[in-house]
Structure 1
Amino acid sequence: MLTKRDVNTDEERLRNRAQRLPAIERKAFYETVRREVKDPDTYAVLNWFFICGLHHFYLQKWLRGSINLTVFVLSIVLLATGWQGLGVVMLLGVLVLELGALFRSQLIVQDYNNGIYRRNLARLGVEG
C-alpha cells in the first residue's frame, strides 16, 4: 500500500537525480516529463464517474479500466432485466472500491508521475 512518506521520499530522490543532469539533458528531461505527467485534479474529477473507470484509463491502466467499465455495463443490464438486487450490489461494490481511490487521488497520481520520472531518467542512463 502506498504511503505518503514513501511516495514523497521517492519523488525527492528522483528530483535530485534530475537536477544533477547536465543542463542540456535536464532541459530535455523536463520537456519530456512535462508532456507525460498527469494531473491529480483531472484524475479526481474522472473518479467522480467511478462506475465508468475513466480515471483508470487516464493513468493508462487499461485492464482495470476495462473491468470497471464492464462491471458498470453489466450492472446496468442486470438492473434493466429484473436482477436489480445483483445490479445494485455490483454498483455498490465498485463504489466502495473506488471511493478509496478518490480520497487518495493525489497520492496515486504522484506515484504514477514518479514512475514517469524514473523511466525518463533510465532512458538517460541514470538509475532511478
Structure 2
Amino acid sequence: MSIFEPIEALEHREERLSAEVKTLSDAERKLYFKAQTKQLKDPDTYASLNWSFIGGIHHIYLGKYLVFTVEFILLLVAVAGIVAGFELFIIILVALALFELPQLFFSQKIVRQKNYQISRSILDEIKRSPNKDV
C-alpha cells in the first residue's frame, strides 16, 4: 500500500473486509471486535506525533521501527554535521522534511491503511485458529 493509492481502492478493500466479518459467527465476531479495539491506531495521535516531535516518533506508533531508526540516525548525523560547521548537511534535513511532509498530509490515509492491515490480520487469525482464541 502506498500513500498515493486511490482512496477508492482502500474503501473497496475495507468494504470486502466488512462483508467477510459479517459472515463470522457471533462468537468469532465478538473476538474480532475485541482484538480490533485493542490494536487499532488513532489517526489523530499519528498526526500529532508527526507534527509535534522531530525524528520520526510517529513511525514507532505504527510499528515501523526500521524507518524510525534510519530517520532518527539521519537526523542525528545532519544535526551533528551542521553543528560541526558543515552546511552541506542541511541537505539531509531538507530530504527528511520532504520525506515527512507527505506523511503529515496523508496521515489519515496512512493510519486507515495500517488499520486495514491490522483488521485483515485479525480476521485471518480468527479464520485460521481452531480454538478461536485470538
| Deviation, structure 1 residue 80 | 0.9
Which of 22, 25, 30 is the equivalent residue of 2:25? 22
The reply to whether residue 78 of structure 1 matches residue 76 of structure 2 is no
The answer (yes or no) to whether the contact 1:50–1:94 under 8 Å persists in 2 is no
TM-score normalised per structure 1: 0.91
* 1:53-101 Cα deviation digits (max 9, x unpaired): 1111111011111111111111111111111x22211111110111001
- Judged with a 3 Å threshold, the aligned counterparts in structure 2 of structure 1 residues 50 and 4 are, in CA distance, closer, same or farther, namely farther
- Judged with a 3 Å threshold, the aligned counterparts in structure 2 of structure 1 residues 86 and 51 are, in CA distance, closer, same or farther, namely farther
Which of 87, 90, 97 is the equivalent residue of 1:88? 90
Tell me what 2:66 maps to.
63
Which letter does structure 2 place at the counterpart of 1:91? L
Tell me what 1:46 maps to.
49
* 1:35-69 Cα deviation digits (max 9, x unpaired): 10101111111111464111111110111111111
Q: How many residues align?
A: 125
Which letter does structure 2 place at the counterpart of 1:43? Y
TM-score normalised per structure 2: 0.87
Name the % identity. 34
Tell me what 2:119 maps to.
117
2:127 is paired with a residue of what secondary structure?
coil
Counterpart CA distance in 1 for 2:14 and 2:53 is 27
Tell me what 2:132 maps to.
none
| Deviation, structure 1 residue 20 | 1.8
RMSD: 1.4
The answer for unaligned runs of 5 or more in structure 2 is: 129-134
Q: Following superposition, which runs of at least 4 residues in structure 1 exceed 6 angstroms of deviation? A: none
The answer (yes or no) to whether the contact 1:50–1:95 under 8 Å persists in 2 is no
